[in-house]
Amino acid sequence: MEHSDGEIPVVRRPMPFEAFYLAEFPTMVALACAVSGSRLAAEDIAQEAMVEASKRWHVIGTYDKPGAWVRRVTIQKAGKRLRRARTEAAALLKLRPDDGLEPGPPDVEEVFDAIGRLPARQRAAVALHYLDGYSVAEVADILECAEGTAKAHLHKARRTLATALREEES
Amino acid sequence: MTLDDRLHRAFSNLETRVNEKLAERPTPDISPEPTYRPSDRTWKILAPIAAAVVLLVAIGAAALLLRNQPDPVPPAGEVTTTTAAPGTTVPPPETSLPPTTQAPPPTTEAPTTTVPTDAFPADAFAGVTAVRAGADGVVAHGAGGATTLVDAPAVAAYHDGRGGLVYQLGSFEGPGEFREILYVRPGDVEPQLLVLGEDEIVRLVGVFDVQGEPHVAFTVTSGSSESRRDTLRMLGLDTLGVLDLGEVGFFEVGLMDVSVAGEVVVIQTSGEGIVQNEARTLDGEPKELLNAPELECAFIGVGGQECLLYLNITDDGLRYVAVAWSELEGDAADLVVIEVGTGAEEHRVPIGEVIPRDVDVEWPYVVVNTRSDIGAPADAYLVDFSDPGSSRVTALPGVGVAGAVRPL
């Protein structure tokens, strides 16, 4: 490909995958847990997303935000896993009783129970916004949707959560 | 405690628990697996052998070529009009039609046949209800089985409404792998180049009638990620005139219903709902919506968690068909097709994330494209609504992006 005006193309060198993994993996586990609703499967989901990233790291590592790519894959994998989570949960408990996350305090678990009843995209939007502190624009970028759609997800999710948690409190 | 406080506290607690759990374990070895590289010594041994093999193969190929010199063919310019849209570069002519001896791709449906002539046949779309673009080329699917129309990896393909095919070469590895848009008409031996993006990313959106002339719609993405600009353009297949319809979003699937009154209704969807629905003049200027209802990002309320994905408005502006998917269960999604005035019909489509395309009130086939985990296309399904009492879903063999083909 020709570059006009004698412009020298900038070749970006990927950051070391190891550093990226160590920095991002815990957050990916938390994200997978929130989106899949499965404390048992979260680590596997995050690990699968990281494996995908490592296979393409020569490309993904050069992105401005490689973390966004991994979050996108984690959310997609977690969404799929959610559908199998219920049936797998019992088997996983039998196989690896100590391998999942410990449950949180009751009020925290109530919040995650309510989040677990949201549609998948709303769950993902909430997790990205409250776990990672992403703005609406950044959530939209990761979910590959328009800002208006991301805003709608967050708005509907918050409305549903407000109702659900108030009911539980009452 | 406010809702925001509760959510922040819950996620903070979750992150702490994850960190504590991971801290209990030894750090895994995540260094890259060693890649095999021949040593210098290996190269010293292999290089002369490889050079000799290459030389022998070259001599053999040259001898074979001299013995089997084909009959002279007319210059490409005599049979191919090579035209590229403004802002693009014209490459050397390229033939993408399948050779006559090409083996058909495997299929689980009726047996596959290959186009039996060098020229694009006049009846390529006879009995065809869908055309699919994928790694195995462009394949027409219909009652007669599957027929390979183009024997080169493609990312999109559409019928021009009169027996021709518009398609885009490339692979689904990423937008950077999308290549030129080509057009082949019945009787053509070589395809005509329509659009080539070199410093831009070009995506074929579809073929639409604008005031009686079929137009190829495509988006052009230019600039870096910070200054990215996406424009929607149309190229007339007869006049080769280009219409610049203004900016659109990059991630949204742009679907349009084209009016006969000199305006285009641009509908952008996000995969979750309608993002924007607006009329534009053929110069890309905004215009008041006259023939279509104003729509906001729509989450339609039929049952649980549906989202509107596609909307088609008829020229009279009175009826529309909406397609949506409801919450996924197991390995299937409910596809909902709504025709105003007649109510909704629900159909179960196998497998996850779905992108319905090509539905209208007169043609009873809906093509549903699915996407895999990382956004690449997966299987495509054809939903047949021709008999409301017994509509059925058929999987198109092979992975790729498909579109419905209306009869001539």
Contact B17 A104 (CB under 8 A): yes
Contact A149 B297 (CB under 8 A): yes
Q: How many CB pairs under 8 A join A and B?
A: 118
Q: Is B376's Cβ below 8 Å from some Cβ in A?
A: no
Which amino acid appears at position A149 of this protein?
T
Chain A partners of B375 at a C-beta cutoff of 8 Å? 72, 76, 144
Q: Compute the distance between CA of residue B55 and CA of residue B242 in angstroms, rounded to an integer.
A: 49
Q: Is B89's Cβ below 8 Å from some Cβ in A?
A: no
The per-residue pLDDT for range A61-107, each reduced to its tens digit, is 777 778 888 888 888 777 665 544 444 444 444 444 345 677 889 99
The nearest CA of chain A is from the CA of B197 a distance in Å of: 11
Q: Is B228's Cβ below 8 Å from some Cβ in A?
A: no
Per-residue model confidence (pLDDT) at position A49 = 87
Quick check: B114 and B221 in contact, CB under 8 A?
no
Per-residue model confidence (pLDDT) at position B306 = 43
Interface with chain B: mutation pick from A111, A161, A163, A169, highest number of B CBs within 10 Å: A111
Contact B271 A158 (CB under 8 A): no
B45's CB contacts (< 8 A; 6+ apart) are none
pLDDT one digit per residue (tens) for chain B, 408 residues: 788 888 989 999 998 888 888 887 766 655 544 333 333 343 444 445 555 555 665 666 555 555 554 333 322 222 233 445 443 433 433 434 543 323 333 333 444 544 445 789 988 898 898 999 999 999 999 888 889 999 999 999 999 989 999 999 998 877 678 889 999 999 999 999 999 876 788 889 888 888 888 999 998 888 766 677 888 899 999 998 898 888 886 545 555 556 666 777 776 655 445 556 677 778 888 776 554 444 443 443 333 334 445 555 444 444 445 555 544 444 455 555 555 445 455 555 554 455 655 555 566 777 777 765 445 677 787 877 666 555 677 788 888 888 888 776
Quick check: A127 and A31 in contact, CB under 8 A?
yes
Chain B partners of A148 at a C-beta cutoff of 8 Å? 275, 297
Count of H-run helices and E-run strands, chain A: 8, 0
Dihedral in degrees, nearest 10, Cα atoms A71, A76, A78, A84: -170
Total-model pTM = 0.52
Quick check: B211 and B259 in contact, CB under 8 A?
no
With a pLDDT cut of 90, the percent of chain A lying above it is 8
The nearest CA of chain A is from the CA of B244 a distance in Å of: 22
What is the complex's ipTM, to 2 decimals? 0.81
Per-residue model confidence (pLDDT) at position A127 = 92
Confidence grade of residue A54 (pLDDT, cut at 50, 70, 90): confident
Q: Is B186's Cβ below 8 Å from some Cβ in A?
A: no
Chain A partners of B329 at a C-beta cutoff of 8 Å? 83
Quick check: B403 and B393 in contact, CB under 8 A?
no
Residues 19-78 of chain A with CB under 8 A from chain B are 21-22, 25-27, 29-30, 33-34, 42, 52, 54, 64, 72-73, 76-77
Contact A148 B297 (CB under 8 A): yes
Q: Is B275's Cβ below 8 Å from some Cβ in A?
A: yes
Nearest to A115 by CA among A107, A127, A103: A127
Nearest to A65 by CA among A1, A10, A2, A137: A137
Shortest CA distance from A42: residue in chain B: B18
